[in-house]
Amino acid sequence: MAGGLAALTVGAELLVRGASRLARAAGVSPLVIGLTVVAFGTSAPEIAVTVGAAVTGEAEIALGNVVGSNIFNVLAVLGFSALASPLVVQRRLVRSEVPVMVLLSFGVAALCLDGSLGRLEGATLAASLAGYLWWTVGRARAEGNGPGDWPDGAGFPDTNVVRDVALTAAGLILLPAGARMLVSGASEIARALGATELVIGLTIVAAGTSLPEAATSVMAALRGERDIAVGNVVGSNIFNLLGVLGLAGLVSPSPVGVPEAALRFDIPVMLACAVACLPVAYTGYRIDRWEGALFTAYYFAYLTFLALDATGHSAAGPYGRVMLAFVLPLTAATLGTMAVRTWTARRLRARARAKAREARG
């Protein structure tokens, strides 16, 4: 486990350093890099674990890994990243990618209502991923941030490009390798303690396979690459829903089962996490430390429920109902109110500036 953690840390540093330099050299915005290369690269452990679990018939681990990873990405990864350094959110992310993540979360939840995900659903999700990639790259080109060709004479010699590609590749190799070592050791401990496959998938496997996202986003925030930090989380969640779950549905010998426990609590929590990103991002287009602390606290509250439920504690039911019925809606309402106030204040300031310009003219 210690070796896995070391590989994750080094891999995250190499990936952020190489990808951010390549973005500047190629004229690609850091946001697009975060939404595509970094997000999909750090999702490699989810692909390996989820597809492997689906092929071997461990459906609860396969689904639990995707749902748990998306919960972990929003609450823990964004939470810890914002605690490390407040995250500035680009307007494009708020207006486009975050709503896409929310809509896809509800779409996947709807597909799960019948209790299984078959090849048809898997093919639909995989095809949607191709459409999302086409849309993302096309929009980046329209905005002048497309991949294009390497600029000539831009101060980035070929040797630097080769080095940065090597750094990025090394990071993409180390991240899934480290996650695999960490998850393997942690899963053996959990099984020895008698935890169910769903709980293992939602917690240890989900957190372990999401550690690349966590390490990459926190490192990006500390290095000032905040677009990569936020774009990585949103892009990873979209990729998990479309690519990882889609592949699992396609390769599984039988439909991927959706446990009733996941429909009752974990999938609603995933939806709440996705929706919570909207008002948080709208509050001044930044995620402050207090919002990061709130997300982090909610993740530990979620882990508390899973621990109570796994041990069959009588408090698990009431605790879960309180979380779903009161705490999450109240927080969403509070954040929504703050977002409206921030938006109103921004409009008033814009009008005041316009009137001042008219007066000077």
Query: Which string of DSSP letters, residue by residue, matches 60-99?
Result: HHHHHHHHHHHHHIIIIIHHHHHHHSPEE--HHIIIIIHH
Each domain of the chain, given as residue ranges in start order, spans 2-145+161-360
State the DSSP code for 136: H
28 vs 324, more confident:
324
Closest CA to 72 of 317, 238, 325, 303: 303
pLDDT attached to residue 152: 43
For residue 150, name the pLDDT band (cuts at 50, 70, 90). Answer: very low
Quick: pLDDT tens for 108-142.
Answer: 999 999 888 888 999 999 899 888 878 876 776 66
Mean pLDDT, all residues of the chain: 75
pLDDT at 66 over 50: yes
CATH code for the structural domain at 2-145+161-360? 1.20.1420.30
The CB-based long-range contact list for 104-113 (8 Å cut-off, 24+ gap) reads: 104/128, 104/238, 104/241, 104/242, 105/70, 105/237, 105/241, 105/270, 105/271, 105/274, 106/271, 106/274, 107/241, 108/241, 108/245, 109/267, 109/270, 109/271, 112/63, 112/258, 112/262, 112/263, 112/267, 113/263
pLDDT at 154 over 50: no
Quick: pLDDT tens for 322-349.
Answer: 877 766 676 666 666 666 766 676 677 7
Provide the whole-model pTM. Answer: 0.73
pLDDT attached to residue 155: 42
Residues 196/206, Cβ–Cβ less than 8 Å: no
**Chain position carrying tokens 């999302």:** 132
pLDDT attached to residue 73: 87
For residue 157, name the pLDDT band (cuts at 50, 70, 90). Answer: very low
Quick: pLDDT tens for 216-257.
Answer: 677 767 777 666 667 778 888 898 899 888 888 888 888 888
